[in-house]
Amino acid sequence: MGRAFFDSDADLSLLAGHTVGILGYGNQGRSQALNLRDSGVSVIVGNQRDASFDHAVADGFDVFELGDIAKHADVLALLIPDEAMPGIFRELVAPHLQDNAVLIFASGYNLYYEAISPPPTVDVVMVAPRMIGTGVRETYQRGEGFPSLLSVEQDHSGRALDMALAYAKGIGSTRAGVFLSSAEEETVCDLLNEHIGYVYELRRAYEVLTEAGYSPEAALLEFYVSGEEMELARAHAYMGLFHQLTLHSQTSQYGQLVVGKASSEHDQAEKQRLRGLVENIRSGRFAKDWATEQQAGLPTFRRAQRDGLSHPMIAEEGKLFTVLKRRQGDAEFGS
């Protein structure tokens, strides 16, 4: 197992005398900024002038436009979307970077694909939470924290690891455990998880059941609308993938362990598909395709969105959400 770090391995006082600039006040940016402030760290926020800018002001932060944040902070956490980050960094951040600054990335994407090339006079580290933004805040407030992957990509000062650990402690991650990794490893694992095709797998199962004459609501409740999968995911995280099966009936366990096990041929074919996805990521083909798609105005992406949302399953999902008094597509879970 790779090296792991906890609260006792990190010295938060290393951030004393420094100003942390949070670039981007979305879900991750807001949560990390609030956690750092609650940990006693001096924090300012950089954001374009929009609703998030106003939200940061309302939360009591000193807020600057993105082109000014690097003038006022010497520890910069880049928490803007991966696709927007290279241009913003090149045009608005890099010209104002202080020597000996610390750049903190929340994913390895732009480092691995060399879309951003920091100057040699700064430290470059990655602190990548394995948690959605709202969870970063909620687990901090509960005193639990959340795991992260950490790497040192450029150690100009000779203390980049210590500064990364101090930041990780400030946001609450060393409470749960921070694991030494790399920009490449974080990128490949993260993207593969997104490329496996989970939403299509569930939709195929829905199609098969409804084609066989079973009700849409029964299928949807079984697969995800009931919320049972959230509880199972928590069991996976705290008990282990196979140990959590003991929470199920023996009938369920037999179905999952025996009936659900793929044949050797199917297993090898699926592994080969996954190997192809990994190679697509590692070779840079995915990044090039995604960049081309963005330059073209996202035609394939928008078409896939329209196709997904126009599927009959979504209309049935909406009806069920209405009965359950939920708002379909609401980004505020549980609201």
- Report the pLDDT averaged over residues 25-49: 96
Q: What integer pLDDT is reported at residue 59 of this predicted model?
A: 95
**Domain parsing of the chain, residue ranges:** 4-181, 191-323
Distance CA 313, CA 46 (A): 40
Q: What stretches of the chain adopt beta strand conformation (E)?
A: 4-5, 20-23, 43-46, 63-64, 75-78, 102-105, 123-129, 148-154, 178-180
Query: 4-181 — its CATH code?
Result: 3.40.50.720
Distance CA 226, CA 326 (A): 12
| 152: helix, strand or coil | strand
Strands 20-23 and 43-46: parallel
pLDDT above 90 as % of the chain: 91
- Report the pLDDT averaged over residues 157-169: 97
pLDDT at 335 over 70: no
pTM for the structure as a whole: 0.90
Strands 178-180 and 4-5: antiparallel
Question: How confident is the prediction for the chain on average, in pLDDT?
Answer: 94
More confident site: 316 or 331: 316
Q: What is the pLDDT of residues 192-235, one digit of tens each?
A: 999 999 999 999 999 999 999 999 999 999 999 998 888 888 89
Residue 1: pLDDT band (50, 70, 90) is low
Sheet holding 43-46, edge to edge: 4-5, 178-180, 148-154, 123-129, 102-105, 75-78, 20-23, 43-46, 63-64
pLDDT at 334 over 60: no
Region for residue 177 given its phi and psi (left: phi exceeds 0; alpha: psi -120 to 50; beta: otherwise): left
Count CB atoms within 10 A of the CB of residue 123. Answer: 24
